[in-house]
Amino acid sequence: MKLCMVGTGYVGLVSGACFAETGQQVVCADVNVEKIKVLEDGGIPIFERGLDDVVRRNVSEGRLGFTSNVTEAIADATAIFVAVGTPPRGDGGADLSAVDAVAETVAKHATRECVLVLKSTVPVGTNARVRNLVKDAAHKIHVVSNPEFLKEGDAVNDFLHPDRVVIGCDEDDDFAKSTMSRLYHPVCLSKERIVWMDPASAELTKYVSNTMLAMRISFMNEIAGLCEKVGADVHSVRHGVGSDSRIGPKFLYAGPGYGGSCFPKDVKALVHTAREHGLELELAATTDRVNDRQKGVIFRKLKAAMPDGIRGKKVAVWGISFKPRTDDIRESPSLTLIDALIAEGAEVVAHDPEAAENASERYEGKVTFATDPYVATEGADALCLLTEWRLYQNPNFEKVKELMRSPLLIDGRNVWSGYGLRSQGFTYEGIGVRGS
């Protein structure tokens, strides 16, 4: 069958390329002509481990193509995936204008019965909203909700080896069910991974999943603060708590707060949806507030360690992306720190192996971006670790100390807490750890 992926952002490009990898004939369409030109020329507009190989292999073997002509791409497709942006509005709700535009285009230009798949993260009720937009189309359009659960940095593996594939459609919609079953059959060969449900439940599952993970992060960040007050070590607490099989060890790491394109937006959207229905999700709302506060923890530690002030000081920042193995800087805690440092009058020199270009566009000369992490520390009064890229996890500390003007380390990821840095002459601060 012919598959069309509308939107070549993070979700659309990964999903389209991976469907092609499973043998489908895929066209990725986007109204952004420049982005399509990059893809047609063999480039990849985002950094995602392994994606470039998948894209190039399937383009060369004729299963994957790109176009800026959305109308032509959807015309005779059996399945059309909506993978466009749904950015947050000022009130926390999602902007669905791009989703609506795709639905209206499909209703007008589809030339056969097809399945319109909502892959974008959308609030509860969007499936019903889209059905209303396509109800008068010349051909039957089946609307299905299929939220994505891809981790940036491991998205290709997540798609091809998913924990689950959530699909929301009507129980009696045999056409939609058979189409979606066939599409996902290659990733279900070892075991059945499709979880069928109604559309509203599928829409809600996406938000609840991300909010629950965000809650774990925010809770452990609060516990890290308590550890600092009572002399406990958050590593020990995390290990003791995570050893309980009912809880598990994942997403219990203290740090400078969560970021990225999903958690911040999805937590706010879930709270907004509940408020629209007269409910207050207090745990979710608090999770969001705790995270906003936590993003300032590195700056607060820096100020406390510099009693004579930050103005005029040189601060090196290692890591700008919100997590390793991606160039995504959206809602990154690093940005909160850098913004505060600039406002305070500090000189900021930053390094990131993949995200420096994206960050340079944001700061327009206000930040110096080093091409080598050690160069960033030359003459620095402090070094702050924000993203735990592997090249930062075991650096040459003797060299770092020689290069820095003042040996102050603020470790936002606690990866250096066991290295005995204080005994080596460093002033060391982690998040909820005693250090050594």
pLDDT exceeds 80 at position 23:
yes
- Name the DSSP class of 261: S
> 241 and 288: one domain?
yes
> 52 and 113: one domain?
yes
What residue type is 204 in one-letter code? L
Q: Tell me what pLDDT residue 88 has.
A: 86
pLDDT band at 1 (very low <50, low <70, confident <90, very high): confident
Return the SS3 of 382.
strand
Q: Tell me if 434 is assigned to some domain.
A: no
> 7 and 151: one domain?
yes
- Name the DSSP class of 133: H
* Mean pLDDT computed over 87-99: 89
> 414 and 304: one domain?
yes
pLDDT digits (tens, 9 = 90+) for 220-234: 999 999 999 999 999
Return the SS3 of 88.
strand
Q: What is the average pLDDT score of the chain?
A: 96
Q: Tell me if 160 is assigned to some domain.
A: yes
> 371 and 273: one domain?
no
Q: Tell me if 436 is assigned to some domain.
A: no
Query: How far apart are the C-alpha atoms of 241 and 192, rounded to whole Å?
Result: 31
384 is catalytic: no
pLDDT exceeds 80 at position 99:
yes
Q: Tell me if 227 is assigned to some domain.
A: no
Q: Which of 306, 214, 256, 293 is nearest to 431 (CA)?
A: 256
> 45 and 119: one domain?
yes
> 181 and 35: one domain?
yes
Rg (CA), the chain: 24
**pTM above threshold 0.85:** yes
Our count of domains for the chain comes to 3
Q: Tell me if 387 is assigned to some domain.
A: yes
> 262 and 370: one domain?
no
Q: Tell me what pLDDT residue 436 has.
A: 61
Chosen domain end from 269, 294, 319: 294
pLDDT exceeds 90 at position 92:
no
* Mean pLDDT computed over 204-214: 97
> 24 and 148: one domain?
yes
pLDDT digits (tens, 9 = 90+) for 331-369: 999 999 999 999 999 999 999 999 999 999 999 999 999
CATH of the domain at 246: 3.40.50.720
Chosen domain end from 277, 294, 311: 294
Please report the beta strands in 193-268, taking only residues with DSSP state E, as ranges in sequence order.
Answer: 194-197
Question: Which residue segment(s) compose the domain that 270 sits in?
Answer: 206-221+233-294
SS3 string, 275-305, reads HHCCCCCHHHHHHHHHHHHHCCHHHHHHHHH
pLDDT exceeds 80 at position 435:
no
> 280 and 262: one domain?
yes
Query: How far apart are the C-alpha atoms of 141 and 327, rounded to whole Å?
Result: 36
Question: Which sign does the torsion angle of CA 344, 345, 349, 355 carry?
Answer: positive
> 50 and 183: one domain?
yes
Q: Tell me what pLDDT residue 93 has.
A: 85
Q: Tell me if 92 is assigned to some domain.
A: yes
* The Cα angle at residue 167 between residues 35 and 283, in degrees rounded to 5: 90
* Mean pLDDT computed over 89-104: 92
Helix (H) or strand (E) holding 145: strand 141-145
Chosen domain end from 242, 271, 294: 294
> 32 and 158: one domain?
yes
Specify the residue for token string 């040189």. Answer: 314
* Mean pLDDT computed over 113-117: 98
Task: Pick the catalytic residue from 4, 18, 114, 262.
Answer: 262
pLDDT band at 214 (very low <50, low <70, confident <90, very high): very high
Q: Tell me if 325 is assigned to some domain.
A: yes
Q: Which of 42, 25, 32, 33 is nearest to 85 (CA)?
A: 32
pLDDT digits (tens, 9 = 90+) for 137-167: 999 999 999 999 999 999 999 999 999 999 9
pLDDT exceeds 80 at position 91:
yes
State the number of CA atoms in the 13 A half-sphere of 156 facing the CB: 17
